[in-house]
Amino acid sequence: MQIAQNAVVAFHYTLTNDAGEVLDSSEGRDPLTYLHGAGNIIPGLEKELEGREAGEKLQVTVAPAEGYGELQPALVQEVPRDAFQGVEEVQPGMQFQAQTQGGPLMVTVTKVEGDTVTVDGNHPLAGQTLNFDVEIASVREASDEEAEHGHVHGEGGVEH
């Protein structure tokens, strides 16, 4: 069966950046399982998997626009330290959920200088070209319930 809309796909992958550093991998774990066409993985990778079959191995390069987006400088802001009430020591790398006009946004602290904290609302992989080595483990048709819910149920998916 070829990968198409509403196919349940399981695949192993290794994700590297342009410097060849491994950013993520399914090595030693179960394959990643998703419902094709439901927006469960980044668009550039999903496009490249379309029409493929179980057993295929491929290398995919995904530009930032088709991955986690371009870096948006407006999402990097300096905020006063007192905006973090109840947090004893704010340090770079900490993540918080900020309430914005567009709804909740995860931000990462990138710098703390005196009473000023710099936060970044960009995804950590925004602006990066992503390189995937992929091996497709299996492809099957989604159940009616999986297609209706927009995600995989059972092994490798959601239990409910």
Domains of the chain in sequence order: 7-68+125-149 (3.10.50.40), 73-120 (2.40.10.330)
- First and final C-alpha spacing in the chain: 27
Mean pLDDT (the chain) is 94
Q: What pLDDT sits at residue 155?
A: 60
* Per-residue tokens: 57: 């191995």
Q: List pLDDT tens digits, range 89-137.
A: 999 999 999 888 888 999 999 999 999 999 999 999 999 999 999 999 9
- SS3 label, residue 40: coil
Cα-to-chain-centroid distance, residue 11: 15
Q: What pLDDT sits at residue 56?
A: 98
* Per-residue tokens: 91: 């340090």
Q: What percent of the chain shows pLDDT beyond 70? A: 96
Q: How far, in Å, CA of 17 to CA of 22, rounded?
A: 7
Torsion sign, CA atoms 134, 137, 141, 144: negative
> Please, are residues 57 and 66 in contact by the beta-carbon 8 Å criterion?
no
Predicted TM-score (pTM) of this structure? 0.83
Q: How far, in Å, CA of 118 to CA of 79, rounded?
A: 6
